[in-house]
Structure 1
Amino acid sequence: MVGEIVFHLGDSKTGSTSIQQTLVAQAWTGASKTLLYNARVNHIPLAHTINRPKDKPFAKKRWTALRSDLERSDADIAVVSAEGFEFSDPDEFAEMVRQYLGEWQGRIRFITYLRPHAERVVSTYAERSKQGLFLGRLEEMHERLLDSGLLMYAPRIARWKAQWGDAYTVRPMIRSELRGGDVVEDFLNFVFHGDPVKPQAVAGANESLTAADLAALRAIHATFPKQARMRDAQKTLGWNLAQLISALPRPKNTEKPQLHRSLAETLVKAYRDDAAEVDRLYFEGSPLSKSLEAAPGKARETVQPIDAASYFGPDALRLIEGLGQLLVRMIAAAPDTMSTAMRPKQLRAKNWDPDGKRKAKGAVAKKKSGKRKAGEVTQTPSTGVVAQVARRLPKGLRRKLSPLRRHLS
């Protein structure tokens, strides 16, 4: 079995995708230990067994499968990574770990990265917008986050610490605070107990969108009706389209989504106490407080436009609207199929074959029909309808229309 386990718990928008891509590719040098990463992308389905009611019935199956993989491997370290653990109840999570991974008691470590409050508001706004989960203004996103308490870090971190003590580590997602100025290198340094590990470049990193990119995605999402059956496919569309766009060359002088000054000042007042508490308990040099207090000075004077018309001309807007309508039509016709089809090939189920049934039916039909005899006419449904209509017409009119009838047949 593996020697120890490291749980990477997020948070969202702290480089989790880059970390996971590096783990999948095993893209590093300088490690003295071996590592198991048993996910094709991440362990979000595992996190969902704690934080999504509809996934709770699958808890035993998914956690047992994880345990089996860990027992079969002789790697020194195994990593379990899902930013979705951020939204999990720490007590429920602890119960699952102790129930299914009790063999590794005392040999499990946990790490969370925290993005500074002001930056996290903007990144959450962008992330939810690109998936079609939120189409409001940035101020409205702040109000939602404040009401939910999601960015009140101190109480949440305290609950994780209460469960795991010194086995739980929290790090600030601030470049100057990270080893090598890079979250991937910082994470690998933690995993490999300080080995001089260097990550290698991995294609397809989750680059942030420009303000114009985000406005275009929001315009596409605005064409979708609010239907639960299309929700998952719409999220998949946003996430994958954003991945493709972010990998393309960018025009010069593009802007990223940004705060405006009045909102930044509001955020300072809202999160000043929380930042100070986290800094006092876990960090040296008050990095969260310094980042928060600096936010107004980095912000725009005026509100950043979020409508597509502020970035695109009439012709481009027309294309965006048309593309949105086409995507709605396609997803409405087959939400599950489209949800899978939009993913990269390596992320689809291995046995996925949307044409398989149609091919099988075609083969059966061909076998039944056999070869057609010379001169034999096969009557299609449309042929039968034309013949029935023709029989009801007067003879004279029937003769006049016979060329049309032959054409339709």
Structure 2
Amino acid sequence: MIKTLVIHLGDTKTGSTALQSVLRSGRYTTPSGQTVFYPGESLNQNRMPNAVAQSSQSRIFSSVAEEFKASECDFGVISAELFQAVDPEDLKHALEQEMPDFIDRLRLISYVRPHAEKLVSTFSEQAKFGKVADDLRNHFKNTRSKKKFHYAPRFEKWRSTFGNKFSLRLFQRNALVNGDVVEDFFQWMLGEAGTKVNAQQLSNSALTAGQIALLRRFHDLLQRQGFSKDKGRMPAAVARALVAQFRISGLAETSERVTLPPKLVTSIQSTYRKDAAELDEMFFEGTPMSHALEAVPEKLIGVNKDFEASRFFSEETLQAFDTMAQMSILLMGENKKQLRKRANQVRAKTKLKR
């Protein structure tokens, strides 16, 4: 049986994909020969938080528990960024019911991204799936009304539920070991530096304004073709594969970045100032979250973007894109299960460097 169970909880947009790709590859060398077991075959274990949310965790959790019992590794790791949406008490209950042998050898970790950076990165992420607001100002209003980035209450609940088993780390380059979340995670887990990573890492970096414009155009075409039952969205696996191809081809890679208008920066700061201070007091030495909020990187500040594709591409390029998009939409209606499987294979084969 594994000696220590580590649950990596995310958050989303904090390098989870890079970490998971390294864990899945197994291509790393630990400093003192420590061994790590990463269960299953998927990139992550997001099926576990999904099961908790649906109160159907028994089969999935017990299956993972059996894998950990059969392993003699020093560490067993579960990595699922969707745990950020799970009530800590629900996870604790699931662990006590289905994985009781591991409660006393449990550690949990989450990474938190500064508020302004999180707003921009989630806007980019949601653009893949057709869920995003018209622009960053509306995205800010939506997330503010739902208190999505009010971190302190959520992380305080994780700590009150799991005590000192839970750790929170700042996802900011100057706070990470060698500026890298993978190295940071391994050093935290192993208690020593020196893990050598030999694998290429999948990346889930932010999209440019031009790439977002193309994705919006694709989603518009979906709606016109009667995909209303899917709310005009392409399957998530297809969206991820399409973005991977953007990055391989370099399509719109050099177009302008998504930026925050100065007035919006001021609103973000006033909205999250208290939350940043509370998080600093609870979890960090000094005031890194407050400092990050007051010192929004200059590269993130600019005009409010217009995501009309014609701003970034010629009419000829857009006609070619529309033609290929129409063909892809037709294929989507054929065999969705096979389509998702193939899209996941395409994305995995890209092995994009972080």
Q: TM-score, normalised by structure 1?
A: 0.79
Which residue is equivalent to 1:368?
A: none
Find the aligned partners of 1:341 and 1:284 in 2 and give their Cα distance.
46
Match of 1:45 in 2: 47
SS at match of 2:249: coil
May I ask how many residue pairs the two structures share in their alignment? 344
Partner SS, residue 208 of structure 1: coil
Are the structure 2 counterparts of residues 265 and 296 from structure 1 closer, same or farther at C-alpha, using a change threshold of 3 Å? farther
The reply on whether 1:281 has 2:282 as its aligned counterpart is yes
Shift, 1:206, TM fit: 2.9
More deviation in 206-215 or 283-292? Answer: 206-215
1:219 aligns with 2:217: yes
Aligned partner of residue 149 in structure 2, secondary structure: coil
Secondary structure class of the residue paired with 1:209: coil
Paired AA for residue 114 in structure 1: V
Q: 1:358 corresponds to which residue?
A: none
1:3-402 to 2 correspondences below 5 Å: 3-32=3-32, 33-40=34-41, 41-51=43-53, 53=54, 56-57=55-56, 59-134=57-132, 136-225=134-223, 226-229=227-230, 233-249=234-250, 253-295=254-296, 297-344=298-345
CA displacement, residues 187-242 of structure 1 (integer Å, 9 cap, x when unaligned)? 01111122422333415433332221121112111211253358785222211111
In the TM superposition, structure 1's runs of 4+ consecutive aligned residues that sit over 6 Å from their partners are 345-348
Moved more, 130-139 or 10-19: 130-139
CA distance in 1, matches of 2:329, 2:82: 28
| TM-score of the pair, normalised by structure 2 | 0.90
Q: Any conservation in 2 of the 1:42–1:82 contact (CA below 8 Å)?
A: yes
Unaligned segments of structure 2, at least 5 residues: 350-354
- Assess if the C-alpha contact under 8 Å between 2:208 and 2:252 holds in 1: no
Structure 2 counterpart of 1:337, one-letter code: Q
Query: AA paired with 1:77?
Result: F
> 1:246 and 1:261, CA in 2 relative to 1: closer, same or farther beyond 3 A?
same
Residue type at the aligned position of 2:51: T
CA distance in 2, matches of 1:231, 1:110: 37
Q: SS where residue 5 of structure 1 aligns?
A: strand
Contact persistence 1:204–1:243 (CA under 8 A):
no
Distance 1:165 1:296, change over 3 A: same
Note the aligned Cα RMSD (angstroms).
2.2
Question: Matches of 2:200 and 2:297 in 1, distance apart?
Answer: 34
Q: Structure 1 vs Structure 2: percent identity of aligned residues?
A: 28
1-structure distance, mates of 2:132, 2:10: 21
1: CA distance between counterparts of 2:9 and 2:201? 23
Post-superposition shift, 1:339?
A: 2.2
The structural deviation recorded for 1:172 is 0.7
Deviation for aligned residue 1:152: 0.6
Q: Indicate the structure (1 or 2) with the bigger Cα radius of gyration.
A: 1
Query: How many angstroms apart in 1 are the aligned matches of 2:75 and 2:247?
Result: 33
**Match of residue 2 from structure 1:** 2
**Distance in 2 of aligned mates of 1:229 and 1:213:** 22
| Counterparts of 1:95 and 1:248, CA distance in 2 | 46
Deviations 1:135-170 (A, max 9, x none): 522111111111221111000001100111111000
- Structure 2 counterpart of 1:288, which letter? M
CA spacing shift, 1:251–1:333, aligned 2, 3 Å: closer
| Structure of higher RCO (CA pairs closer than 8 Å, 6+ residues apart) | 2
Unaligned 5+ residue runs, structure 1?
349-409
**Partner amino acid for 1:283?**
F
Check the 8 A contact 2:219/2:234 in 1, yes or no: no
